[in-house]
Amino acid sequence: MSTNGSISFSLSAEHEDIQRLARDFARNEIAPVAEHYDKTHEYPWPVVKKAQELGLTTMNTPEAYGGLGLTMFEECLVSEELAWGCSGISTAIGVNSLGMLPILIGGSEAQKTEYGNRMGDGELCAYCVTEPEAGSDVSGIATTAVKQGDVYTLNGSKTFITGAINANFYTVLAYTSPDLRGTKNRYKGMSFFVVERDWEGVSVGKPFEKLGQHASDTAEVIFDNVQVPATHLLGEEGKGFLYAMKVFDHSRPSVAAGAVGVAQRALDEAIKYAKERYSMGQPIWQHQAIGHMIADMAIQVEAARLLVWKAAWSVDSGARNTTAAAFAKAYAADMAMKVCVDAVQVFGGYGYMSEYPVEKLMRDIKIYQIYEGTSQIQRNIIMRELFR
């Protein structure tokens, strides 16, 4: 896929090398231990540390700041492959790139250098926006950061924070102009900060029990009169909402790529099983009801992959990608949910049993329709852009 303005559906040699590296890592390091971490709910430290050695936790951080410096398209190639192995483990790895995005978008050169290199040295970060009463409605957050001299006093709580328990620092969205909350100018009242995990007043709750993605920790983060130096403000005060929207434009293609990876795994498992399972004297794929179902799965996976590639290409070519990212995120998430459900159906009764992989895939995939903007929010975005 060319990113210089021309279109090509073949991967360059460099892209193939990156894809192969991620594919080998997924198959050799992630897939063999996926069941273990799904059952134990442990954080996959051994796998994460190996991913750090390859730079996979700093994919989107430029080389100048200690990262791997991948393009959006390259990041999507990697994300699809890692999610094929286990989307819980791939989320534990990839969420660090999400946490770094506000720093890369709004941070100063000094901030990018410091936190990029800290990530390169093995630290982890988490993205703190969602709150108990503010999910899809980002402007509904209640966390505040009130400035007094050269310090902001941060109060509030964030929930469903991926990577919260093991993060060394957080990128946190808060109202710096609390009086604007609930007004038509509320979008101008928020700002982003980098908050250290070990500061007084920062506490993290117990990990939530989840339907799927058990290898990825999710918890509440509480800020109780945390004293944040003004030097930890990212970019300009009042630009936080704008930065958050830019984060989504960059994060949604990669998340959509992860959904494609899970769907591809479900398709691969369904094909393998349909070759081995016999019914009425022939492999079940030769029964048209099953064969056509798997054919439709393949069509949908490929269509979603192309939407993801276009959304990534838009970022890399400098084009506005809000609509393309929403197309990719909505379709890939919904497609993958259906493909995983159909894979369970191909397996029949065995698909419902945890000893077969498709049961886990169906549990893991549901979150893709919810996080990074629900499928319904993506349609709101598309509607808004169509009628702008």
From the list 337, 364, 336, 92, the residue with the least C-alpha distance to 213 is 364
Can 372 be counted among the known catalytic residues?
Answer: yes
Q: Work out the angle at residue 207's Cα, subtended by the Cα atoms of residues 201 and 209, and round it to the nearest 5 degrees.
A: 150
Looking at 80, 209, 372, 385, which residue is catalytic?
A: 372
* Partners of residue 282 on adjacent β-strands: 279
Q: Is 182 left (phi over 0), alpha (psi -120 to 50) or beta?
A: left
**65 Rama sector, left if φ>0, alpha if ψ -120 to 50, beta otherwise:** alpha
Three-state secondary structure readout of 247-296:
HHHHHHHHHHHHHHHHHHHHHHHHHHHHHHCEECCEEHHHCHHHHHHHHH
Q: Report the C-alpha gap between 388 and 380 in whole angstroms.
A: 12
CA nearest to 200, candidates 223, 229, 177: 223
| Cross-strand pairs, 147 | 152
Cα separation, 314 vs 72, whole angstroms:
9
Segment holding 47, helix H or strand E: helix 45-53
Distance between CA atoms of 189 and 185, rounded to whole angstroms?
7
Closest CA to 60 of 77, 84, 40, 38: 77
Q: Which 8-state DSSP code applies to residue 148?
A: E
Rounded to whole angstroms, what are the CA distances from 90 to 147, 255, 259, 382? 37, 10, 11, 28
In sequence order, the 6+-apart residues with CB closer than 8 A to the CB of 299 are: none
- Return the active site residues: 372
